[in-house]
A and B are shown apart, each in its own frame.
Chain A
Amino acid sequence: MPPTPCSICQRERAMLRRPKTLQRLCRSCFYAVFETEVHQTIQRHGLFKRGDRVAIGASGGKDSTVLAYVLKLLNERYDYGLELFLLSVDEGITGYRDDSLETVKRNRDQYALPLKIISYEELYGWTMDRIVEAVGRKNNCTFCGVFRRQALDRGALLLGVDHIVTGHNADDVAETVLMNILRGDIARLQRCTEIMTAGDAEGAVRRSKPFKYAYEKEIVMYAYFKKLDYFSTECIYSPNAYRGYARAFLKDLEASRPSAILDIIHAGEALLIRADVKMPTQGQCERCGYVASNRLCKACVLLEGLNRGLPKLGISGRASVPDGPAVSAKQP
């Protein structure tokens, strides 16, 4: 098969087919379109303002590594005037997070960005290794998801940042839309497609997803062509099986029609919630002051269970935690 020429410059050899547009692109044209689209997403949605201190939620995985690389590049290229930080959560998972944190430390040096690591151990007095010892492998992802969300916020407060960006891509958002539909979780369904969430006085920091419209394939190819240093091992506490099915289903849809991913995001955005549907109201946790839809926030309920030796507390179902286990998004 003769090499295909790039459909933009008509000169270089095309190296990939973009899933979003089916364009055949050479490396440099691909970099240019990808970076420009992320820039346009940032501009169109007014994600940042000059002088913002922004923490990149960095897991060492492909998405957050590409995000750190691209944000640093765009900040310089377009002079956003942002102060960027890497913020990592150490869940305390031997053989997984300790290795991926080494990747984040290399990224810190490669991109010359300050890094803050915040651990479950210092925040909650428990590592995931010990939590799994106590609760087994069935519900540990619930703990991890709830704890991570708060850990990022607390790390952001310590860094004094205005904003957290995460590496969630279009595939992640579409997958979360599907999961929230399958669970009938109306409140989250509405929130999960938002590109930016407002911060609040109770300790939740403003968050956004600059890769909301970037396909996973583009991110992987970008990291591969640029030889970015990322970590690609699966969490050893076998991840959420339900999410795995949603992901596989999404990938099957994409294989037969690449626009399926953006279509699902648009469907999620277009859903209107009837005004008379009762939505959970957000208050403040009596114990730690974090946002909560009950008397205690989810982290405090889970923690109380762990500390009292009743680890099932808070994960048994909707009776104790009315809006169910956290499915807001997979980790960045």
Chain B
Amino acid sequence: MELLFDQQHTVKVQLPAKEGNFSIRELLPWIRDKLLRERPELFMQGDTVRPGVLVLINDVDWELEGELEYQIAEGDRITFISTLHGG
């Protein structure tokens, strides 16, 4: 699975083994704790992404894919685009 941050970094990650699939709800805090080095508050707010961060699952708007409940499959590409800065 690949993660994109600001279209600049692509990270392939191996999620820890567990029974059943990971949902986006479980993925977000995992990313925050394992991958983000600074200012995690710019990424998450409560149990979801901070408003203004767009999430795409295999290039599809996550609003069409069940948002937090989406079950991640092997090879999925999850993209995060922050809109909170820079015109």
User: What residues make up the interface of A, taking CB atoms closer than 8 Å to B?
Assistant: 1, 3-4, 13-17, 24, 59, 61-64, 167-169, 171-172, 216-217, 220-221, 224-225, 231-235, 239, 244, 247-248, 251-252, 254-255, 330-332
Residue in contact with B86 in the complex, picked from A3, A171, A221, A234, CB distance below 8 Å: A234
Interchain CB contact under 8 A, B87 and A252: no
- 29 A-B pairs whose Cβ atoms sit less than 8 Å apart in the complex: A1-B65, A1-B70, A14-B60, A15-B59, A17-B61, A17-B63, A17-B64, A24-B64, A59-B86, A59-B87, A61-B86, A61-B87, A168-B87, A216-B83, A220-B54, A221-B54, A224-B7, A224-B79, A232-B7, A234-B85, A235-B86, A239-B85, A244-B84, A248-B50, A248-B52, A248-B84, A251-B52, A252-B51, A332-B87
Residues of B56-70 whose CB lies within 8 A of A: 56, 59-61, 63-66, 70
**B81 contacts partner chain A, Cβ-Cβ < 8 Å:** yes
- Residue of A at shortest CB range from B65? A1
User: What residues make up the interface of B, taking CB atoms closer than 8 Å to A?
Assistant: 6-8, 50-52, 54, 56, 59-61, 63-66, 70, 79, 81-87
A221 CA / B82 CA spacing, docked (Å) = 11
Given A220-B54, A251-B51, A252-B51, are A16 and B61 neighbors across the interface (CB < 8 Å)? Answer: yes
Shortest Cβ-Cβ A-B pairs, 9 listed: A251-B51, A16-B61, A251-B52, A255-B51, A63-B87, A234-B85, A17-B63, A61-B87, A61-B86
- Residue of B at shortest CB range from A255? B51
| Chain A nearest Cβ from B38, distance in angstroms | 12
For residue B83, which residues in chain A have a CB less than 8 angstroms away from its CB?
A: 171, 216-217, 220
For residue B85, which residues in chain A have a CB less than 8 angstroms away from its CB?
A: 232-234, 239
Interchain CB contact under 8 A, A14 and B64: yes
A255 CA / B51 CA spacing, docked (Å) = 6
Interchain CB contact under 8 A, B64 and A4: yes
A332 CA / B52 CA spacing, docked (Å) = 18
- Residue of A at shortest CB range from B48? A255
Interchain CB contact under 8 A, A15 and B61: yes
For residue A232, which residues in chain B have a CB less than 8 angstroms away from its CB?
A: 6-8, 82, 85-86
Counting chain A CB atoms within 10 Å of each CB, the highest count among B50, B86, B87 belongs to: B87
| Chain B nearest Cβ from A218, distance in angstroms | 11
A59 CA / B86 CA spacing, docked (Å) = 9
A232 CA / B53 CA spacing, docked (Å) = 13
Counting chain B CB atoms within 10 Å of each CB, the highest count among A16, A171, A216 belongs to: A16
A15 CA / B59 CA spacing, docked (Å) = 7
For residue B61, which residues in chain A have a CB less than 8 angstroms away from its CB?
A: 15-17, 221
